[in-house]
Amino acid sequence: MNLSNSPDLFAHFKDVIDPRVERTKDHSLLDIITIAVCAVICGADDWANIEVWGNEKLVWLRQFLALPHGIPSHDTFGRVFNRLDAEAFQAAFLQWVQSAFDVSDGQVIAIDGKQLRRSHDKRLGKAAIYMVSAWATDNHLILGQRKVDDKSNEITAIPQLLKVLSLAGCIVTIDAMGCQKDIAAAIVDQQADYVLSLKENQAHLYQDTVELFTHLEQTSAHGLDTDYAKTVTKGHGRIDIRECWTITDTQHFPYFRTSSQWSGLQTLIKVRRQRHLPDKTSVEVAYYISSLPKQATVLLQAIGSHWQIENGLHWVLDIAFREDDQRVRTGNAPQNFALLRHMALNLLKQETSAKQGVKGKRLKAGWSEAYLLKVLQI
């Protein structure tokens, strides 16, 4: 197998424009990307480690890549990814994901942001970058990501990310920061549904929703179109109880001060979470809006699935890839290295023969060239 010609991965990066002038191209851009992806899969977490891995695997790599000048130096890796157009690199990543993986109808796509904590540079007055990612909760797959512009926030990055995703038939979940009218409209325009966390950042809608659920609780003959679901899970010395109430009632929505401004709005949701531990009990109440009909069971499952992005993506990036400790800071390098981690994570998540966590799979790929090939051929 020729890695650089793989239809499943590296072929999608052939058209990314090399940022270097011709006389400095001792190593092809595709070779640089290929070596970087392989090294990150195998445990490399900075440019120096990528160079070391490449030199240790030079004989193996030459089975697939020409490498007439050997392995690039860590300075070359740093300079190339510093200058490489991050938008073009992400577009190639997106093409690969969409061609290689199927995202089923009805799947929950969780969208959330994460700060790359050590990407700041105090000397240059550069703040740490923030990346917004879309996570397919059933596939355990990063579908795409977008860097939040400097002096901005997730509200501006989420619509840009939504534009490049294929979301038809999916359920998009976003926390309260993304509860915005234009974001709801963008999701509906993609023939998808939304479940958005509702808080005081949408004061009128939040207040009207709370008051309507209060009326529901206080009035037995409420005349509202409602549904209810409950789940109970036990384990590790605790009991978690989640209850969901929904209201789908177009007769009452016109009395809401802003309901008509929310594209596709069908259902208001109240969720109460109770956690019972041996020494204490906690209760949390949250409200949501959705374009889905009133099925409380479906909505409760979608809301619960959203938090997989914390455990399945953010936590793994921190623990298995040590993302919060990374000090890649200059130019486009922070977001490009983040994308290398995302590519590695997608490949490692989809390889299921090794019954290990992502950190263990990275070690195994570093030890076993046969296993690394298996990961790359996903």
Return the pLDDT at 172: 97
Exposure class string for 118-132: b at 16+ Cβ within 10 A, else e: bbbeeeeeeeebbbb
**Alpha carbon separation from 264 to 31, 133, 196, 221 (Å, rounded):** 47, 24, 12, 27
Confidence of residue 329 (pLDDT cuts 50, 70, 90): low
Task: Indicate whether this model's pTM tops 0.85.
Answer: yes
Which among 58-67, 220-229, 258-267 has the top mean pLDDT?
Answer: 58-67
200 in a structural domain: yes
Closest CA to 42 of 57, 58, 28, 31: 57
CA dihedral 232, 229, 264, 106 (to 10 degrees): 60
Instruction: Let me know if residue 366 belongs to a domain.
Output: yes
Same domain, 183 and 220: yes
One domain, residues 117 and 186: yes
Residues paired with 198 in a beta bridge: 287
Q: What is the pLDDT of residue 7?
A: 40
Residues 139, 178, single domain; the answer is yes
The residue count for the chain:
378
Of 68-72, 213-217, 371-375, the one with minimum mean pLDDT is 213-217
> Does residue 327 sit within a domain?
no
For the segment 224-253, the average pLDDT, to the nearest whole number, is 87
∠ CA(138), CA(140), CA(141), 5° rounding?
Answer: 115
Q: Give the count of domains, the chain.
A: 2
* Structural domain range at position 146: 100-312
On the question of pLDDT at 346 being above 50, the answer is yes
193 and 254 in a single domain? The answer is: yes
Q: How many helices (H) and strands (E) does the chain have?
A: 14, 9
How far is 31 from 34, CA to CA, in rounded Å? 5
Q: Is residue 326 part of a domain?
A: no
- Asked, for residue 324, whether it belongs to a domain, the answer is no
Cα separation, 44 vs 51, in Å, equals 9
Q: What is the pLDDT of residues 276-308, one digit of tens each?
A: 998 899 999 999 999 998 899 999 999 999 988
Centre a 10 Å sphere on the Cβ of residue 252 and count the other Cβ atoms it contains.
Answer: 18
- Per-residue pLDDT at 124 exceeds 60: no
